[in-house]
Amino acid sequence: MNAASAILLDGYVLRTDCTEEDLVRYPNRFRDADGAATWEKLFAIVNKLEDSDPTFSFRGFQQLDLRRS
């Protein structure tokens, strides 16, 4: 986590108290009760779009690399 914060924050190390067990890695997602309803709605919409339009695919968005270059 220290290395990741230093990369993203121009050398500033953001201290954390997480352990290896706390980390969430792709393809898993962090989920908490506060955001559950929103994500359920979003994926219901995406599933409808994918079912109704064979040219639409959300899978491409899941592969986007949003890291700084």
Determine the pLDDT at residue 46: 84
pLDDT at 61: 57
pLDDT value for 9: 93
Contacts of range 16-19, beta carbons closer than 8 Å, 24 or more positions apart: none
Tokens of 53: 């339009």
Residues of the chain short of pLDDT 50, as ranges, are: 64, 68-69
The domain ranges of the chain are 2-62
pLDDT of residue 60: 57
Confidence (pLDDT) at 18: 81
User: Which pLDDT score is estimated for 69?
Assistant: 44
DSSP state string for 1-69:
-HHHHHHHTTT--------GGG---TT-----HHHHHHHHHHHHHHHHHHHH-TT--SHHHHT---S--
Residue 67: its pLDDT value, please? 53
